[in-house]
Structure 1
Amino acid sequence: MTQPPHDPRPATSDDEELLEAETTAVLSEFTDAQRLLRIQDELRAGFRALSHVGKAVSIFGSARTPRDHPRYEAARRLARQLGEEGYAIVTGGGPGIMEAANRGAREAGAISVGLGIELPHEQSLNEYVDVGVTFHYFFTRKVMFVRYASGFVVFPGGFGTLDEAFEAATLRQTQKIRYFPIVLFDSAYWSGLTDWLENTVRRDGNVVEDDVRSLVVTDSFADVRAELDAIEHRRPRVAPRRAA
């Protein structure tokens, strides 16, 4: 049987095909109406699936972190400890740091949540997810990360990880959320970012000191728990930029 010629172009998503279309015919009112319904359905599915999780922590980090990396084990251990203290663990449901955190939650007997995303190269939820929801739109997924978590713990990662961290920082800065810790775990990785925020962004007048100090950089599990405990008791607290 004759095989079709290889197409070197990367796989595309429905959104990409829509945005790259040369004709405006696809941008019909009917298509927009369908999108609105899809957004509504995604929000409803997320609310339904996560309504029972109770207090939770969202843990982020690179999908490229291998299982034999120290950060993988750190994320696994931290999630296990938080799970033993009654927190559900919420991740993006993928491999790497996300898998490690879901694995730690499973080991602790805590609720292990994975919020997946449809991508051109499909990525399935990892094997340690107990409650899984897959989203088409990034922004509906982000609603769930913030809506059902008491705070974020952000391990080293790339653009997706940075996106989640800065999204939460923006919500805090604008007081859309108030009692919400954002902990950047692994000071060796994050110190360059926080130095830039302090010495360039703040000095240029684009943020204030409290904006930078609200990002807690640490290597300590105890610091993570302390930040979450402070929020659980509804006591707003600004921690030092680098925990001792």
Structure 2
Amino acid sequence: MRSIEIDTIEDFDRCAARSRSMRGWQVQDLDLTGRTAVLGRLDPAGALFLGCRIPDNLEDRLRTGGALVFPAVPDVPFDAYRATLYTPEELYDGIDRGYDATPDARIYAWSVAANRHRPGGTTVHDSLAMALHDNAVDDALSEYVRGRRIVGVMGGHALERGEPAYDDAARLGAELAGAGYTVATGGGPGAMEAANLGAAVAGVADLDEALARVATVPSYRPSVTDWARAGLVAVGARSGMSLGVPTWFYGHEPPNPFCGAVAKYFRNAIREDILLHVCRAGLVFLPGAAGTVQEIFQAACGNYHAVEGEIAPMVLVGKEFWSERLQAWPLLSALAAGGPLASRLALVDSTDEVRAALGEELGRRAG
């Protein structure tokens, strides 16, 4: 049975106009209260409705006619069946009243309550809501990455706006986006937001201006509100070449406001795996701490077991940092020795060397 994903009302009307049956339809997160006549006419057998608003008098007919109908999940501050990725404006809606008023803050507060002080852990209702939400984000992200060449830029959250390393990371993001690549990060502050900022802004002069603007609020501490507002007004229209993949697991680190699209998850393990998986054009690791180290070796494990043509190049930036301070490079190079991964690893001193180090194929396509 052929599956047809329908997540806009225009797609629904287009399919309905040429069909007598909804078999194979997967209808997601649509308000169908104005489509009573159409729903009454079409054969519902084999259809799937996820979180749709359906007229009360038709819901029973759809079920008895062979459709699966999953209603909206009640008592949660998010749409468990959302059909699209988030935007910073959506997550930070209401920021003028303070961060606590935004959807991002309210969802994080809900997730903390859902995971604390419950005998036996999270309730089935809350676990199911989070799982449905993350599955919906998976689906939306798979549509977003289709046809894109994505380079991941990983790094620590402690880097502040205005620091030279922050500006370097932003210029790296701008260079990669200018070469036609979508820049993906963990979506948080620090080095991650710098790369997203660079990818979001078109033109050197515009980037310098944006860097100067955000530097007036260096950190999300003590005020997420001031930090987010400064970022939202600094970039204006985004280039669309910037993706963030954050998690409410690290909700104390707010999502940066520079991404063109945000795939935000509840489950950090899923989020980490997905983030590294979509970065098939390469991975860049700026100095960081535990999270960045985890990403280095999680990516290395996937590359170690990949066939040669599917190994994503990995570039570590900061020879002294990764060789001496946090000795990831000696272990990584020893692990790769003698295998195809060895030729896809590089250790460089500065972000100026990254694009060449990502490999001959990346340079040829972008040049």
Q: Same fold (TM over 0.5)?
A: yes
- With structure 2 as the length reference, what TM-score do the two structures score? 0.50
Pairs aligned (count): 213
Could you tell me which runs of 5 or more consecutive residues in structure 1 were left unpaired when the two chains were aligned: 1-10, 235-244
User: Is the contact made by 1:92 and 1:116 (CA closer than 8 Å) also made in structure 2?
Assistant: yes
Residues 56-111 of structure 1, C-alpha deviations (whole Å, 9 max, x = no match): 21101111101232211111111111111111111112111011101111223461
Tell me whether 1:78 sits opposite 2:172 in the alignment: yes
Distance 1:15 1:180, change over 3 A: farther
Tell me whether 1:181 sits opposite 2:313 in the alignment: yes
Distance 1:164 1:208, change over 3 A: closer
User: Is the contact made by 1:152 and 1:181 (CA closer than 8 Å) also made in structure 2?
Assistant: yes
Q: Equivalent residue for 1:228?
A: 358
User: Is the contact made by 2:189 and 2:256 (CA closer than 8 Å) also made in structure 1?
Assistant: yes
Which residue type is aligned with residue 274 of structure 2? M
Q: Equivalent residue for 2:152?
A: 58
**2:331 counterpart (197, 203, 206):** 197
Distance 1:120 1:105, change over 3 A: closer
> Higher RCO, 1 or 2 (CA under 8 Å, sep at least 6)?
1
**2:285 counterpart (154, 159, 163):** 154
Q: Equivalent residue for 2:346?
A: 216
Query: Residues of 2 paired with 1:222 and 1:145: CA distance?
Result: 24
Distance 1:14 1:185, change over 3 A: farther
Q: Equivalent residue for 1:8?
A: none
Answer with 151-160 or 218-227: which moved more. Answer: 218-227
Which residue type is aligned with residue 286 of structure 2? F
The Cα of 1:226 is off from its aligned counterpart by 2.4
The Cα of 1:38 is off from its aligned counterpart by 4.0
Could you tell me which runs of 5 or more consecutive residues in structure 2 were left unpaired when the two chains were aligned: 1-108, 203-238
**1:41 counterpart (127, 131, 136):** 136
Residues 155-189 of structure 1, C-alpha deviations (whole Å, 9 max, x = no match): 01111111111110010112278330111111121
**2:260 counterpart (130, 135, 139):** 130
Distance 1:161 1:176, change over 3 A: farther
Residues 219-238 of structure 1, C-alpha deviations (whole Å, 9 max, x = no match): 2446422243434489xxxx
Query: Residues of 1 paired with 2:286 and 2:257: CA distance?
Result: 20
User: Is the contact made by 1:80 and 1:105 (CA closer than 8 Å) also made in structure 2?
Assistant: yes
Which residue type is aligned with residue 337 of structure 2? E
Answer with 156-165 or 43-52: which moved more. Answer: 43-52
Question: SS state of the match for residue 153, structure 2?
Answer: strand
- With structure 1 as the length reference, what TM-score do the two structures score? 0.72
Q: Equivalent residue for 2:112?
A: 13
Answer with 37-46 or 90-99: which moved more. Answer: 37-46
The RMSD of aligned alpha carbons is 3.2
* CA radius of gyration, larger in: 2
User: Percent identity over the alignment?
Assistant: 26
Answer with 116-125 or 160-169: which moved more. Answer: 116-125
Answer with 170-179 or 152-161: which moved more. Answer: 170-179
Query: Residues of 1 paired with 2:331 and 2:303: CA distance?
Result: 16
Residues 22-57 of structure 1, C-alpha deviations (whole Å, 9 max, x = no match): 448x676x77665653442231132234336x1121
Q: Equivalent residue for 2:207?
A: none
Question: SS state of the match for residue 59, structure 1?
Answer: strand
